[in-house]
Structure 1
Amino acid sequence: MNNQKFSVISDTSNYWLKNAHVPVCLIETDSEISSQTREGLSLVNIEIREGVITQIVHSSADLPSTGDIPTVDLKGGMVWPCFVDMHTHLDKGHIWERSPNSDGSFNGALDAGARDAGKYWNAEDIYRRMEFGLKCSYAHGTKAIRTHLDCFGEEVNISLEVFQTLQKEWEGRLILQPVSLVTGDYYLTQAGEKLADKIADVGGILGAVPFMSSDVDNELDKLFSLAKERQLNLDLHTDENGDPNSRVLHKVAEKAISHQFSGEIICGHCCSLAVQTPEKVTETLELVKEASISIVSLPMCNLYLQNRQDNYTPRWRGVTLLHELKKQGISVAIASDNCRDPFFGFGDHDVLEVFNMSVRIAHLDIPYGDWPNAVTKTPADLIGLPNIGRIRVGLPADLILFKGRNFSELLSRSQHDRVVLRNGGVIDTTLPDYCELDSLFQKQSL
Structure 2
Amino acid sequence: MTDPFATRPSPPPATLPREVVEARAWRIENARAPLCLLQASGVAGDADGFARIDLVVEDGRIAGIGPAGGFHLDGEDLPRVDLGGRILLPRLVDVHTHIDKGHIWPRRPNPDGTFPGALSAVAADRDAHWSAEDVARRMDFSLRCALAHGTGALRTHIDSSGRQTAISWPVFAEMRETWRGIVALQGVSLFPLDLIHEDPHQFHEIVSTTARYEGVLGAVTFLGSAPDARIDGALDILMKTAAAEGLDLDLHVDESLAPEARTLERIADAAIRNRFPGRILAGHCCALAAMEEGEAARVIDKVAQARIAVVSLPMCNMYLQDRAAGRTPRMRGVAPLHELEAAGVPVMVASDNTRDPFYAYGDLDLLEVFREATRILHLDHSGNRWLRTIAATPADVMGIDRAGRLEAGDAADLVLLRARSMDELLSRPQSDRIVLAAGRPLASSPPDYSELDDLMHRRP
TM value normalised by structure 1: 0.96
Pick from 304, 320, 324: which aligns with 2:319? 304
Q: Quote the offset at 1:246 in angstroms.
A: 1.5
Matching of residues 11-410 of structure 1 within 5 Å: 11-29=22-40, 31-34=41-44, 36-61=45-70, 63=72, 68-188=77-197, 189-211=200-222, 212-214=226-228, 215-410=230-425
CA distance in 1, matches of 2:308, 2:84: 41
Moved more, 85-94 or 276-285: 276-285
Moved more, 141-150 or 208-217: 208-217
Matched with 1:10 is 21
- Indicate the percent of aligned positions where both proteins have the same amino acid: 42
Q: Quote the offset at 1:6 in angstroms.
A: 2.6
CA distance in 1, matches of 2:17, 2:371: 26
8 Å Cα contact 1:268/1:295 also seen in 2: yes
Give the SS at the match of 1:15: strand
**1:343–1:78 distance in 2 versus 1, CA, 3 Å:** same
Give the SS at the match of 2:400: coil
8 Å Cα contact 1:91/1:159 also seen in 2: yes
Q: What code does the residue aligned with 1:221 have?
A: D
Moved more, 151-160 or 187-196: 187-196
Matched with 2:11 is none
Give the SS at the match of 1:440: coil
8 Å Cα contact 1:306/1:318 also seen in 2: yes
* Matched residue count: 442
8 Å Cα contact 1:47/1:54 also seen in 2: yes
For structure 2, list consecutive stretches of 5 or more residues without a partner in the other structure: 9-13
8 Å Cα contact 1:244/1:273 also seen in 2: no
CA distance in 1, matches of 2:317, 2:150: 24
Q: What code does the residue aligned with 1:392 have?
A: E
8 Å Cα contact 2:157/2:189 also seen in 1: yes
TM value normalised by structure 2: 0.93
CA distance in 1, matches of 2:240, 2:196: 10
8 Å Cα contact 1:210/1:219 also seen in 2: no
**1:140–1:62 distance in 2 versus 1, CA, 3 Å:** closer
Matched with 2:428 is 413
Q: Quote the offset at 1:224 in angstroms.
A: 1.1
Give the SS at the match of 1:184: coil
Structure 1 segments of 4+ aligned residues over 3 angstroms from their partners: 1-5, 62-68
Q: Quote the offset at 1:187 in angstroms.
A: 2.1
CA distance in 2, matches of 1:48, 1:78: 17
Give the SS at the match of 1:285: helix
Find out whether 1:438 has 2:449 as its counterpart.
Answer: no
For structure 1, list consecutive stretches of 5 or more residues without a partner in the other structure: none
CA distance in 1, matches of 2:449, 2:15: 27
CA distance in 1, matches of 2:335, 2:15: 43
8 Å Cα contact 1:39/1:367 also seen in 2: no
**1:63–1:367 distance in 2 versus 1, CA, 3 Å:** farther
Give the SS at the match of 1:439: coil
Q: What code does the residue aligned with 1:317 have?
A: R
Q: Quote the offset at 1:368 in angstroms.
A: 4.5
Instruction: Please provide the CA RMSD for this pair.
Output: 1.5
CA distance in 2, matches of 1:141, 1:46: 19
CA distance in 2, matches of 1:323, 1:135: 32
Q: What code does the residue aligned with 2:36 have?
A: C
